[in-house]
Amino acid sequence: MASIRNIVMVTIMQVAVIVVGVLAAGICHRVLTDHDVAMPLLASMLYWHGVIGLLIPIVWGVGTVVLHLRTNVPDGVKTLAFWLGILILIVMIVFVLYADVTPWFQAMQWNPGGNADD
């Protein structure tokens, strides 16, 4: 299960989630600043510091490949390291969705130029 090909694929998926998250945070930033609305903390963090998140898949991918190539490491540890990468991927997806989707739910509560009674 934990082949080098699978490790590289999970690493690429992690990088893709981060890139999509940073781009979506950029869209949030653009729309919210155009309407003079404060950007939520998580979306702002992702917008300003999201590229640093690329260290997570790089460190996990390199560490898991090195672990996989060592012959004295038990297969159970190699499998555990692989599934840790899947868990990291799931946590990244949840974080990015939460950080980039919640500003749009808050945007639905805006009432620019309208009356509160409309």
Domain contains 109: no
* Tokens coding 39: 């950007």
pLDDT for 21: 95
CA–CA separation, 44 vs 61, rounded Å?
Answer: 27
Q: Is residue 107 part of a domain?
A: no
Q: pLDDT tens-digit profile of 59-113? A: 999 999 999 999 999 999 999 999 999 999 999 999 999 999 988 877 666 655 5
Confidence of residue 117 (pLDDT cuts 50, 70, 90): low
Q: How many CB atoms lie within 10 A of CB 60?
A: 20
Residue 114 lies in a domain: no
Residue 34: inside a domain: yes
The verdict on residue 84 lying in a domain is yes
Range of the domain at 47: 4-102
Is the residue at 82 inside a domain? yes
In a domain, residue 49? The reply is: yes
Residue 108 in domain? no
pLDDT tens for 8-34 read 999 999 999 999 999 999 999 998 888
- Checking 100-103 for CB contacts under 8 A at 24+ apart, the result is 100/21, 100/24, 100/25, 100/28, 100/43, 100/46, 102/40, 102/42, 102/43, 103/28, 103/32, 103/39, 103/40, 103/43
Number of domains in the chain: 1
